[in-house]
Amino acid sequence: MLRTLRPERHLIGATLALAAVGVALSILGPKLLGHATDLLVAGMISRRFPVGTTTAQMLDRLHREGHDSLAHLVRSAKSTPGHGVDFDAVGQVLLLALLLYVASALFNLLQGRLTSTVIQRAMGRLRADAQAKLARVPLAHFDRESRGEILSRVTNDIDNLGQTLQQTISQVITALLTIVGVMAVMLTISPLLFLAALSTVPLSLYASRAMARRARPQFAAQWAATGQLNSRVEEAYSGHALVRTFGRGEETVKELDECNEAAFASGARAQFVSGVIQPVMTFTGNLGYVLVAVAGALRVASGALSLGDVQAFLQYSRQFSQPLNQVAGMANLLQSGMASAERVFALIDAEEESADPVAARRPDRVRGRVTFEDVSFRYVADAPLIENLSLTVEPGQTVAIVGPTGAGKTTLVNLLMRFYEVDAGRITLDGVDIATMSRADVRSVTGMVLQDPWLFHGTIAENIAYGVRDPEGRQTVEAARATHVDHLVRTLPDGYETVVDDESSSVSAGEKQLLTIARAWFTNPSILILDEATSSVDTRTEALIQRAMASLRQGRTSFIIAHRLSTIRDADLILVMESGSVVEQGTHEQLLATGGAYARLYQAQFAGVTG
């Protein structure tokens, strides 16, 4: 957290200075009020003596009557016998106290404004750091955590951390300065009363620390449960059509209720444990106040202190215990904020992708020749997925990859895109090991159409031109025409300026897929990766996609991952994968003739059609 606040160190310094001045002014207030009390008492005493009595005579009489403390009070107040209370002097002292309190409030106001600025800037940087971090973590990070959990860290946890700092940091700074300042003044008034006021502090600190230690894991559990709830809500809302289709509404509500109950239970436990602190602190504060009042009365009776000193000390006692109570009362906020901070910085400090080579290489001319040389890879250390895979794909070839789920089809192209790094062997692009290239260079020559088409919130033109900076409108239309989506776009009311997103109902799933194909075409890649790009569209749209892809594949090395064998009959090479290994390779006709794994897949898929 300190590194997030470091850029604001100058503002933080100014905040501390304002807080120190504000606290110092507020600490002087009780001392002045105590002096005003002494002036009133001294005036009332001096009024008992007749006019003409000298000050020495008045003091001598007070000493003879055993009122040494009153004599000291009258001497310090410079009272004139027979004249009573000097209301002008009392008024001046009270006016000065009022001005001090007003000035203290103004300094505290400025301090609060600067504190708010510091926190908002820091939270803005933290959000930017979290967003930048998500762009640097390996793809495996998103495999381990759900989208809802990640969203909860970047939104809820950062918001909670910001609110915690906003509500506590100013008070904590003021409280600490007040405690130090008040202790110093109390010590100058009476060391004995100072010890009495301090006697209950160890009990307060022990109780608050014990409760805080118990509350922290409860708040961590609360925010973890909140992340799980967000994940469930995101899942339920994004799949609401399927939930209704399969009549799973009640079950979904029940699952959400269970997550909600878990979040409620953990939150209730956290609030209960942290809520115990405030009553304990209030009790110990009142106990200290009583001790000071009793000890102060005894000191006044003995003549060691004036009534004004004791009155000021009692005010200081409240000023001393109030910050402790405030900090203790903020324990639930602080523990909640610390739990959120741990979750946020767990993301900020997460392992990143390995750095690109300092002297990154790049083929002189990208033709699209791809080789896998004895490549091995595993997601889990003791569960190898791909073992000693060797493969050569010539420029312009279309390679189809088929096989059962978990065979390693998608993993193969993920390795080619450097979403993951190989454990052994190497992958080359036109003779250059892609591990010696920058990831940006590898991906700049590769176009990908995902299995599930994704559109961001923006216009159709912006979605098509997503992979190119400063695109020209003419190129956007050209890409749409080449992929047979131009006619569709022109039928929409706003044409290429139509705003769409991933949940948009203005375009169908097949039309979204056509737009993502246009997006891939727009970048003019040398290598094309199609992850089951035609697996969820109608026959007419599939025909359009097939025509578009036939045009797009010309002169490009293409990898097609598909379960629908009808879409890959014209592939130059078909790879059949099982358990991470290529068990067969050849053309459609060659593989059917061998009667192996591909033939069995083909017969199983088309048995209902041919039978």
Q: Is residue 494 part of a domain?
A: yes
**Full domain range(s) for residue 470:** 370-608
Length of the chain: 611
Clarify whether residues 161 and 200 are in a common domain. no
Token pair, residue 586, equals 């050849």
Sign of CA dihedral 208, 210, 216, 218: negative
- Predicted confidence at residue 190, as pLDDT, reads 86
40 and 88 belong to one structural domain: yes
CA–CA–CA angle 187, 189, 193 (5° rounding): 70
What DSSP string runs through 485-549? -HHHHHHSTTGGG-EE-TT-SSS-HHHHHHHHHHHHHHT--SEEEEESTTTTS-HHHHHHHHHHH
The answer to whether 497 and 461 are in contact (CB under 8 A) is yes
Q: Are residues 145 and 162 in the same domain?
A: yes
Q: 17 and 57 in one domain?
A: yes
390 & 515 share domain: yes
Let me know if residue 321 belongs to a domain: no
**Final residue before a domain boundary, out of 165, 189, 213:** 189
Are 131 and 67 a contacting pair, CB within 8 Å?
no
Burial class (CB in 10 A: 0-12, 13-18, 19+), 141: middle
Do 38 and 175 sit in the same domain of this protein?
A: yes
The CB density around residue 14, as the number of other CB atoms within 10 Å, is 15
Q: Do residue 182 and residue 195 come from a single domain? A: no
Sheet of 398-402, strands arranged across: 446-449, 527-531, 557-561, 398-402, 573-578, 581-586
pTM: 0.63
- Split into its structural domains, the chain has a count of 3
In-domain check, residue 507 = yes
Check whether residue 112 and residue 258 sit in a common domain: no
Residue at token pair 């961001």: 456
Angle (CA) 473 478 483, round 5° = 130
Alpha carbon distance 483, 488 (integer Å):
11
Reported as a single tens digit per residue, the pLDDT across 346-394 is 888 888 888 878 778 888 888 889 999 998 888 777 777 788 888 899 9
Tell whether 280 and 410 lie within a shared domain.
no
Boundary of a domain, candidates 189, 217, 248: 189
Same domain, 148 and 290: no
Q: Which long-range contacts link 90-95 to residues 24+ away (Cβ below 8 Å)?
A: 90/36, 90/39, 90/40, 90/43, 93/32, 93/33, 93/35, 93/36, 93/39, 94/32, 94/33, 94/36
CB 456 within 8 A of CB 501: yes
Residue 48 lies in a domain: yes
Does 351 map to a domain? no
Locus of tokens 């203790």: 328
d(CA 598, CA 565): 9
Q: In this structure, are 514 and 464 located in the same domain? A: yes
Q: Are residues 251 and 104 in the same domain?
A: no
Amino acid 430: pLDDT: 92
Asked whether residue 117 is assigned to any structural domain, the reply reads: yes
The CATH code of the domain that includes 61 is: 1.20.1560.10
Does residue 363 form part of some domain?
no
d(CA 611, CA 595): 18
Contact indicator for 352, 421 with CB cutoff of 8 Å: no
Domain finish residue from 189, 210, 226: 189
Query: What is the residue whose two structure tokens read 């708040």?
Result: 219
| Contact present, 76 and 306 (Cβ < 8 Å) | yes
The answer to whether residue 318 is domain-embedded is no
**Domain harbouring 502, CATH code:** 3.40.50.300
The ranges of the chain with pLDDT < 50 are 533-535, 609-611
Asked if 388 and 376 count as a contact pair (C-beta separation under 8 A), the reply is yes
- By CB atoms closer than 10 A (0-12, 13-18, 19+), residue 67 is middle
Q: DSSP 3-state assignment of 125? A: helix
